[in-house]
Amino acid sequence: MAPLRHCWSECCGATMLLFVLLVIFPSCLLSVKVSPLIEKVSDHKDFKKLLRTRNNVLVLYSKSAAAAERQLKLLSDVSQAVKGIATISWVDCGDTESRKLCKKVKVNPSSKENGLEVFHYKDGVFHTEYNRPETFKSIVAFLKDPEGAPLWEENPDAKDIVHIYSEKDFRRLLKKEDRPMLVMFYAPWCGVCKRMMPAYQQAASDLKGSYVLAGMNVYSAEFERIKEEYNVKGYPTICYFEKGKFMHHFENYGASAEDIGEWLRDPQPPQPQAPEVPWAEEDSLVHHLTDSDFDDFLKDHPSVLVMFHAPWCGHCKKMKPEFEKAAEELSASNDVHGVLAAVDATVHRGLAERFHVTGFPTVKYFEDGEEKYTLPHLRTQKKIVEWLMNPEAPPPPEPSWEEKQTSVLHLVGEDFRESLKKKKHALVMFYAPWCPHCKNAIPDFTAAADTFKEDRKIAYAAVDCTKEKNQDLCKQEGVEGYPTFNYYNYGKFAEKYNGERGGAGFASFMRSLREKDHGKVKRKEEL
């Protein structure tokens, strides 16, 4: 019996050892707790189904479970932040079952030094290899907008910028920092910000140790208190601090790195600008007309080109010197008999209303006292003079956004709410036709609408706030600037859209909502 008992004891010991090797040891290899939001895939059919049913997928391929451990810990946190927006999946190519899948999709993480490859799939097909920094913030930003520009802090040339991510970090920095400091409050889509960033980051490197140059993306609504406190009305807004106390703004947005350094060595508040002399009071060959003398002037001059303008209008200011030079050339010419005139439409509103002037500048041609043409293409001295030498009908105007055949719904006050009640998800752009930022956004917004044109539950809509019927509506919906984007759920306001103002951003926002819907349906089916 003793030998039998001894055998039995050895068998039990061997069984226990096998249990340890098969169960406990693998768990040691992968000690990190993987989020249930990360979908582990090993079968090729399951993988194809994943790409077919999800629009925004990041896949981690690893040569083994151990190689993936650190990355899975990071991606577990990321998966929580992008829940409903993107899907994260893991394929362990070292696993026998998954090896076939990796071979079929031609992925070999073993060839990489770290044993990992990270690929992104968009709309069911391969999009790009993820090659941005492996940080929580960068991966989340990428998945929220896979085609968007990298974050400022991802630029290696911006390593000496202090990047601020929260109001708490901002307050802490002000409290602890004794060195003079510049803080650039910016928006990621802002063109002026992007043009200034290279000089700003070079200055940060040049002045490192003596001064602090910081950057903070305050575009989202969570930073409203900071924007109000530091009078952030546009981007960028750059504030100068000494020992945590705000002193004044830095307003040289075309400054070089040397200019910034020179200013910091003797920081002076912005100088008040001398009041601008009204155009009508300048010595000019352009005739400035009023409500009272307009008709008499047209009687005395059979050929008149009139520029209706506003003092604050940037396009008018740009056109003004061209108009002046054209007036001088016409005055010296014996071949052209037309004259140039201007009307300040903000003062002489009767004339602006009479001739239906809704944007600036508006150029109209009058012949024998009667309005004949509106000429939006005349903006330079050369074109103005050439046209007056042979006045003829202008080319037909380009149709307005509303007149074009697109998938965007153009709404007016009385049908706004009723139209949106029929749509589960609606992104609405409140705009003004003259607004440059609106004009830049229109092509991408239209393209996003075309992407979802077959989905009856989704709408991209637009409201022209300059129309009289829409003015009360725009106030009611909280429109304070153009463009403003609001998201509505079955006609009820849900949130302001603060994402990327591009086709990818507009489309990704809607895809994230649709993925949330699919997720809810799936959970119901599982129940």
Q: Quick check: is 435 catalytic? A: no
List beta partners, residue 426.
459, 488
- Residue 388's contacts (CB-CB under 8 Å, 6 or more residues apart) are 303, 305, 330, 336, 338
Alpha-carbon gap, residue 175 to 243, rounded angstroms = 8
CA distances from 88 to 50, 81, 107, 241 (A): 10, 11, 17, 42
Which residues have C-beta within 8 Å of that of residue 53, sequence separation ≥ 6?
518
- Burial grade of 478 (CB within 10 A; 0-12, 13-18, 19 or more): exposed
Cis previous bond, 483, omega within 30: yes
Instruction: Give residue 41's Cα distance to chain centre.
Output: 34
- Phi/psi of residue 117, each to 5°? -135, 140
User: Is 11 in the active site?
Assistant: no
Q: Out of 93, 193, 239, 465, which one is annotated catalytic?
A: 193
CA distance 308 to 342: 6
User: What separation, in Å, do the N-terminal and C-terminal C-alpha atoms of the chain show?
Assistant: 56
Residues paired with residue 92 on neighbouring β-strands, in sequence order:
62
265 Cβ neighbours under 8 A, 6+ residues apart: none
Strand order in the sheet with 492-496: 409-410, 458-464, 425-431, 484-489, 492-496
In the set 316, 438, 465, 474, the catalytic residue is: 316
Residues known to be catalytic? 190, 193, 313, 316
